[in-house]
Amino acid sequence: MVWGSENWVISGFAGRETRVAEGPFAGKTLNEVYGGEFPLLIKFIDAREDLSIQVHPDDELAAARGIGRGKTEMWYIMNDGGSLFVGLKEPLTPESYVRLVEENRLTDVLERHSVKKGDVFFLPAGRIHAICGGSVLCEIQETSDNTYRLYDYNRPGLDGKPRQLHTEEAKAAIDYKVYPSYKTDYNLEPGGSEVLVRDPHFTTSVYDLREPRIVSTEGCGRFLAVMCVEGSGRVNCVPLKCGEALLVLDEKGPVEFAPAEGTTAKFVTSHE
């Protein structure tokens, strides 16, 4: 990407589907194994430069426009020292939003957050946001690539031309309200776990691993996506290191999470 790199580690998105790495289903796409479109898309993102200012449509607007799913997402920050734009500092109207874009001043009304490892931001569809340079994170979202680009700092794309903005298309997608807080607060004890997001699209938790731990899959539906966001370890007998993900599919019993011997690790999980 013009701004850095992203790795779609668990994806059922058409044309960019994950393939099974090993075992009896090796080489098959995720959707073939799942039996339909996998509902979540999970990425690791390394932003060397600022991403464009964006917003995503919700499911209702995406359906009305015939473009598939909306895009509600969340971020788990994996490093210190980066920053993000999330949410508004002052309320907007469709008219004032367009004026700010035309005047190259949209960032003036956005809330900028300095971030550290372990910070979490939930981004319901409609919330204006952008990842800024220096941030590394795990993104969990609906299976959708529906993005409206609001502002791109007037920089050229990889082809040397300005990238397309979606000023008019975004008008109906934006949530113009100001909220008291945009960061997800939680308290993770050493060796503990916490639910980070509970939304109709996904439920996400974090596990601080100091020793092996048995994790129930009851209530997870058909799958449990597991991402290693710090250190390394294993899920049952399958090794997992930072920046990798695996999928526990159609498992009826509990699974074991464990850090590498003599170390600690953090796993983030997500399911419907």
Note if 16 is an active site residue: no
What does the alpha-carbon distance between residue 126 and residue 114 come to, in Å, rounded to a whole number?
Answer: 22
Q: Give, rounded to a whole angstrom, the gap between the first and last alpha carbons of the chain.
A: 29
What does the alpha-carbon distance between residue 198 and residue 38 come to, in Å, rounded to a whole number?
Answer: 19
183, with CB counted inside 10 A (0-12, 13-18, 19+), is middle
Catalytic residue from among 149, 155, 198, 234: 149
E-state strands within 11-109: 40-47, 53-55, 73-77, 83-88
CA 152 to chain centre: 20
What does the alpha-carbon distance between residue 91 and residue 67 come to, in Å, rounded to a whole number?
Answer: 28
Q: Which residues contact 160 (CB under 8 A, 6 or more apart)?
A: none
What does the alpha-carbon distance between residue 19 and residue 21 come to, in Å, rounded to a whole number?
Answer: 6
The residues annotated as belonging to the active site are: 149
